[in-house]
Amino acid sequence: MQRKNKSRNILISRFSALGDVAMTLPSVYNACYANPHDNFYFLTRSHPAQVFINKPENLSVIGIDLDNYKGVAGIWRLARTLRSRFHIDTYVDLHDVLRTKLLRKFLMMSGVKCRHIDKGRAEKRNLTRPNRKMLTQTDSETIRRGFQHCRNHSRRHIPLSLWRRERESSRIHGSKSAQKRG
């Protein structure tokens, strides 16, 4: 599939604490370096925005005060502002909480392609339930999955470090007698 020379505007969001935002930096920087013709915008709180040092030229950090965007109406206002000011084509949600889910829905309603990470909540729930635990291998590299579909489901546009290890469907099962005991 041939790629057109039109640059795209990709919005990435993570509203967590400083450490969570810092852990996303290598993946975000790699995506920026692998796609130099695209514009990336990283949306986060004002304080964690300071950890972006030596950032790629095609990455802009948007630090916002979430107190100005409270409730559903506030998130709607934020989505409208981002869409009109930055002309967003794709939104990558690296947090997947209620606030970013609302933002994702509002951007989707205005025609923005949206992707989000799979935090593996179902696997964690199955692992910690009281009876009949399902022991599965969990994936510690969840951030790369947010970028995995960002470029039209094509791996050639995703840096190797983001999709280095595909999620294997191998499950770690004990013996059959251990499964029956639950």
In this prediction, residue 145 has a pLDDT band, given cuts at 50, 70 and 90, of: low
- Cβ atoms of 107 and 88 within 8 Å: the answer is yes
Mean pLDDT for the stretch of residues 96-117 = 92
Q: How many CB atoms lie within 10 A of CB 34?
A: 18
Average pLDDT over residues 132-157: 54
Q: What percent of the chain has pLDDT over 70?
A: 71
Q: Give residue for tokens 């948007």.
A: 62
Distance CA 63, CA 37 (A): 23
Reduce the DSSP state of residue 43 to 3 states and report it: strand
Rounded to an integer, the average pLDDT of 68-89 is 95
Residue 119 has pLDDT above 50, yes or no: yes
Please report the pLDDT score of residue 136 as a whole number.
Answer: 66
Determine the pLDDT at residue 130: 83
pTM for the predicted model, two decimal places: 0.69
pLDDT (average), residues 73-99: 93
Considering the chain, what is the average pLDDT of its residues?
77
User: What pLDDT is attached to residue 138?
Assistant: 57
Q: What pLDDT, on the 0 to 100 scale, is given for residue 180?
A: 46
Q: What whole-number distance in Å separates Cα of residue 148 and Cα of residue 159?
A: 9
Separation of alpha carbons 153 and 147, rounded Å: 9
Q: Which of 32-36, 41-45, 47-51 is predicted with the least confidence, judged by mean pLDDT?
A: 47-51
Contacts for 102 with CB less than 8 Å, ≥ 6 apart: 72, 75, 76
Q: Of 29-38, 158-167, 170-179, give the range with the top mean pLDDT.
A: 29-38
